[in-house]
Structure 1
Amino acid sequence: MTTLAKWSVDDYHLMIESGVLNNRSVELLEGEIIEISPEGPLHRFTNDAVAEYLRELLRGRAKVFEAHPITLTNSPHSSRQGGIIRASEPEPDIAVVRLPNSNYLTHHPYPEDIYWLIEISNTTLEEDLGRKKKIYANASIDEYWVINLKTTEIIIFREPSGNDYKTKFTLDRGTITPITFPELQIEVARILGQV
């Protein structure tokens, strides 16, 4: 029987600070250090366009991070209910988080700081709809979008419950209203790079 050593977020941070992970593109998922897939041109273009569009819409209301770590453990400041979250520090393609940005001088955003997360999938769809969805649901991330570049659609997950989401729907046109910003109408065509 093989037993894998599971790393804590603190262990992971020590490795980063010591330089052990220099020049490695990795993230911590459920205690395992995982290589991040390299981006292709379409992924990069979509990521840039979506982040720019969301920054326009959310200026003064939220911070939009691109491929920056978020810490999904039980934080010392958490007011959320639920069990123990397995140590994960993923780097989602886009994270929409609470202001002010100065909140993140000493730590990455915790689950209670996150409005919603977006992963852009070209070659990572199975991971984004599997393991990452489970991790985000378990951390009680209220809203999670997967932009499927192959089918040109957005898969939206809401209402986290255990390791999954109760609500799932797919859009390829129209608008999306994020749970945390009900006054906002986000154009699907802009998210999918069709405008």
Structure 2
Amino acid sequence: MKTLAKWSVDDYHRMIQAGILQTRRVELLRGEIVEMSPETPIHYTTAKQGAKYLETLLAGKAEVRFNGPITLADSEPEPDIAVVRLPESTYCNRHPHPEDIFWLVEVAQTSLKQDLSIKTAIYAAAEIPEYWVASLSTMQVTIFRQPIAGQYKQRTTVQDGSIIPLAFENVAVSVKRLLAQTSS
């Protein structure tokens, strides 16, 4: 049986700085450099509109990052949306770490299986308090909460109504708006 060489986050950063990964759309997941799924127009548009919507809801409360990396112990994934602590200047010299993150959102079309399995396990192991997967095929959002021992203990799927994020009990996120189904 062959053992794959695992890369550390520092190794990954050195490869990026050296330009080795410049032409590749990759992310580091559990020490492995993994090709990212190609973004379809609907995926990109939904994620971008979702980020803009969350920016309006969370103005002055949190920084909403779009398609940017986060740094975990053995991974550096690039969630579609990361809602992180202010001030934004905190991230001038580093990407957000688990303690900076309120919640993450992955918009899934071709990546649904990976987002519901591998990324869920990675985010739970990093104790990200909340993780949402917005499925473009079912137009539903699956909400993961309560990370304990590398697994989320709570999983809820919603198709309409609002989601109240754990970090902001006075903010109601419309499922339809997050999925870019309406502009109202």
2:118 paired with 1:131: yes
- 3-state SS of 2:171 partner: coil
Partner letter of residue 130 of structure 2? E
Match in the other structure for 1:89: 76
The CA distance in 1 between the partners of 2:110 and 2:22, in whole Å, is 24
Match in the other structure for 1:48: 48
Match in the other structure for 1:110: 97
TM-score w.r.t. structure 2 length? 0.97
User: How far is 1:67 from its partner?
Assistant: 1.0
Large movers: runs of 4+ above 4 Å: none
CA deviation string 1:57-116 (max 9, x = no partner): 01111111111110012xxxxxxxxxxxxx100000100000101111111100000000
The CA distance in 1 between the partners of 2:8 and 2:176, in whole Å, is 40
User: How far is 1:45 from its partner?
Assistant: 1.3
Partner letter of residue 7 of structure 2? W
Structure 1, unpaired ranges of 5+: 74-86
User: How far is 1:151 from its partner?
Assistant: 0.5
CA deviation string 1:36-72 (max 9, x = no partner): 1111011011011100100000111111111111001
Match of 2:156 among 164, 169, 179: 169
Match in the other structure for 1:193: 180
Say whether the 8 Å CA contact 2:127–2:150 is kept in structure 1: no
Say whether the 8 Å CA contact 2:98–2:128 is kept in structure 1: yes
Query: What percent identity do the matched residue pairs reach?
Result: 54
CA deviation string 1:127-152 (max 9, x = no partner): 00000000000000000000011011
The CA distance in 1 between the partners of 2:152 and 2:65, in whole Å, is 23
Match in the other structure for 1:72: 72
Match in the other structure for 2:39: 39
The CA distance in 2 between the partners of 1:105 and 1:189, in whole Å, is 33
- 3-state SS of 1:10 partner: helix
Structure 2, unpaired ranges of 5+: none
Match of 1:180 among 157, 167, 172: 167
Match in the other structure for 2:136: 149
RMSD: 0.7
The CA distance in 2 between the partners of 1:21 and 1:47, in whole Å, is 24
Match in the other structure for 1:81: none
Match in the other structure for 1:12: 12
The CA distance in 1 between the partners of 2:174 and 2:18, in whole Å, is 43
Match in the other structure for 1:59: 59
TM-score w.r.t. structure 1 length? 0.92
The CA distance in 1 between the partners of 2:132 and 2:171, in whole Å, is 16
